[in-house]
Structure 1
Amino acid sequence: MLTAIAVTSSELVLPPSDRHTPTAVVLQPPGRQELEAALVDMQVLIEQHGYVIALYPSSIDQGFARRLHTLRSVMESDRIALLQLDLPPLGAAVLARQLRQLSLGDFSPGVLASAAGLLAHYIYAGALLGSVAKLDRVSVSLRSHVTSWVPGAQFGVLAGPTPQLVKAGTEAPPAGPSFATQLTVANGQLQSDWVTTTLARHWRVQDVRESPLPAESPRWWGTSKLIEFAAAISDPGVLYQLVASVRRDICYWCGLEFIGDQCAFCCATIQRTETPSPHGGAVARYEAPASGRPR
């Protein structure tokens, strides 16, 4: 039984890298589906897959985000993980595809869900912009703001893992990954080959794939004159080894395995102290929210 990966838009469902990668379930916003119908659909997903990992960008409509939390609250289920992603839209879609790939492996649902935070650090997500005048998600200098009004100026912006901004054509591209990646590119209303030639060559990407531009991208980047890109690990074997190499803990509340400091399903957190335990390693101390029950 494969853990279901769910997303909030069909644009976050990128074509699979291979014929084995399962697709993702597309959740419907409140304006397209009544709450009762959404509850039925979620219950069916749980019955079919056991667990559901729902990914949603931090930029989505807040009404949609509230709907997701309402579903989980009404169902009182610890089988639904709600993961908010701070990645740009195309980067979020790439992360969703990576989790779809990993869902074929033997990772438990808790490890698979908490792996999202780990994998996000290995996704180099950015865009080539025709203007940074309205960009508010990446720090932009006053000089760059002024330059953005110059006709023909273009900027290479990296949102993560380390934010960077360069003037395309006159400055070196942002520092890229030191590991093998596949570059996914989505074209907006900007004409340039800087991403597929200069950036791809500088980053030594193994493959370049085109994808439709997510509808949310212009709002996220503050302009429709853009070319969005995301470089990430595409080899399932490498992804598996990366996640498998991280220490795992057992959640004291729901009993699921997880990596990192928080269980993605029940949201119980763990804090490790520097005091060594009698058996070696750090002492793990768990904490639940003030309400007493993680949610």
Structure 2
Amino acid sequence: MPTAIAVTSADLVLPAPDRHTPGAAVLHPPGQLDLDGALAETGALLERHGHLVAVVPPWLPSATVQRLHTVRAILETDRIALLPIDLPPLGTALLVRQLRQLTVCDFSPGVIASAARLLSHYIYAGALLGSVAKLDRIPVGLKAHARSWSPSAQFAVLAHPTPHLAKLGGQDKVIPAGPEFATHLTFARGQLASEWVAAELAPAWQVQGVLENPLPADSAAFWGTAKLVEFAAGIPDLSVLYQLVASVRREQCRWCGLELIGDRCGFCQAPLAAPPPADRQVPAGTARSRP
């Protein structure tokens, strides 16, 4: 079975782009499942898939993040990767879908886990907001804060990869710089009635396809308002994703022994150059504390 990709909420699982892409496992938070249930849930995934890669964005509740680390520690396994990826909710869901696509390829679990950091650089994520008064994810000037009190105000905000904010209809350059490669655009409507994302942003970014999806539950809290339309653009083609990951030199983690790309292991988070202590030369796949 392919490596399992996991999320903490079902609304972070976008529809599969084809019949070959597997779904994602949903690791239920503490409010929905007790610790014994979480251990059984995660243990069953490891038994079925061998390795588990879970995306852990910083906007998750601290109790949920603590539960993930507790389960990993109690199970005493190096086969669970907890990936700290800093993307907005819809951008996170898009990255999760790309990781799901890669699991059907001939990549090892270590390469898939460390590929998340690489792929996140190619995701453009933002939102159209009715107010930036409570937005704390990117810098907001006093002028923009003052404009937020207007009932008809709308702001184009890009959070990743380069922060950008502009008020629609103002003197600023409204359309944020988009990707210079082929993408599909996914958007989700909150309580803001606007067609700007599909009618203006998508053509300006020359996207190859547009898909509407339900708004993730955490989006309103992330953007500081429920008056929004969230969007995320990323590479949809599996062959392109494959070539992107395959073109990066593979290394072996000197701490846990798994394959990796980039400068950090996705499973144990050890940097590439970090050797294990001389007295801790244990076989790969054995549980050990985080370096």
SS in 1 for 2:157: strand
SS in 2 for 1:150: coil
- 1:294, 1:246 → 2: CA distance? 28
Identify which of 190, 196, 215 aligns with 1:213: 215
Is 55-64 or 218-227 further displaced after alignment? 55-64
Q: Which residue of 2 aligns with 1:242?
A: 244
- 1:87, 1:141 → 2: CA distance? 22
Q: Which residue of 2 aligns with 1:84?
A: 84
1:253 CA displacement: 2.0
SS in 1 for 2:84: strand
Where relative contact order (Cα < 8 A, 6+ residues apart) is larger, the structure is: 2
- 2:66, 2:276 → 1: CA distance? 22
SS in 2 for 1:127: strand
- Please list, as runs of the form range in 1=range in 2, the aligned pairs for 1:189-208 lying within 5 A after superposition: 189-208=191-210
1:167 CA displacement: 1.4
- 2:210, 2:269 → 1: CA distance? 37
1:245 CA displacement: 1.0
Q: Which residue of 2 aligns with 1:282?
A: none
Deviations 1:199-243 (A, max 9, x none): 111100000000000110000000000000000000000011111
- Please list, as runs of the form range in 1=range in 2, the aligned pairs for 1:28-43 lying within 5 A after superposition: 28-43=28-43
SS in 1 for 2:29: coil
Q: Which residue of 2 aligns with 1:132?
A: 132
Deviations 1:246-271 (A, max 9, x none): 1211011221110122111122212x
CA contact (8 A) 2:255 2:275 kept: no
1:37 CA displacement: 1.5
Letter in 2 for 1:52: L
Deviations 1:2-39 (A, max 9, x none): 00001000000110111111000001111211111211
- 2:276, 2:63 → 1: CA distance? 26
Instruction: Find out whether 1:109 has 2:109 as its counterpart.
Output: yes
1:288 CA displacement: 5.8
CA contact (8 A) 2:129 2:155 kept: yes
CA contact (8 A) 2:183 2:236 kept: yes
Instruction: Find out whether 1:25 has 2:13 as its counterpart.
Output: no
TM-score by length of 2: 0.93
Q: Which residue of 1 aligns with 2:121?
A: 121
CA contact (8 A) 2:253 2:270 kept: yes
CA RMSD of aligned residues (A): 1.3
Deviations 1:155-191 (A, max 9, x none): 0000000111111234330000000100001000001
SS in 2 for 1:208: strand
More strand by share: 1
- Please list, as runs of the form range in 1=range in 2, the aligned pairs for 1:41-60 lying within 5 A after superposition: 41-60=41-60
SS in 2 for 1:165: strand
Letter in 2 for 1:132: V
CA contact (8 A) 2:156 2:174 kept: no
- 1:47, 1:66 → 2: CA distance? 23
1:56 CA displacement: 2.3
Deviations 1:42-69 (A, max 9, x none): 1111111010001122111100100000
- 1:34, 1:95 → 2: CA distance? 28
SS in 2 for 1:85: coil
CA contact (8 A) 1:268 1:288 kept: no
Letter in 2 for 1:25: A
SS in 2 for 1:269: coil
1:40 CA displacement: 1.4
Deviations 1:101-145 (A, max 9, x none): 010000110010011111111000000000000000111111111
What are structure 1's unaligned runs of at least 5 residues?
Answer: 271-284
CA contact (8 A) 1:267 1:294 kept: no
- 2:63, 2:238 → 1: CA distance? 35
Q: Which residue of 1 aligns with 2:153?
A: 153
- 1:269, 1:214 → 2: CA distance? 32
CA contact (8 A) 2:254 2:276 kept: no
Q: Which residue of 2 aligns with 1:265?
A: 267
Letter in 2 for 1:27: L
- 1:103, 1:262 → 2: CA distance? 20
1:287 CA displacement: 4.8
- 1:208, 1:182 → 2: CA distance? 6
Count of residue pairs the alignment pairs up: 279
TM-score by length of 1: 0.92
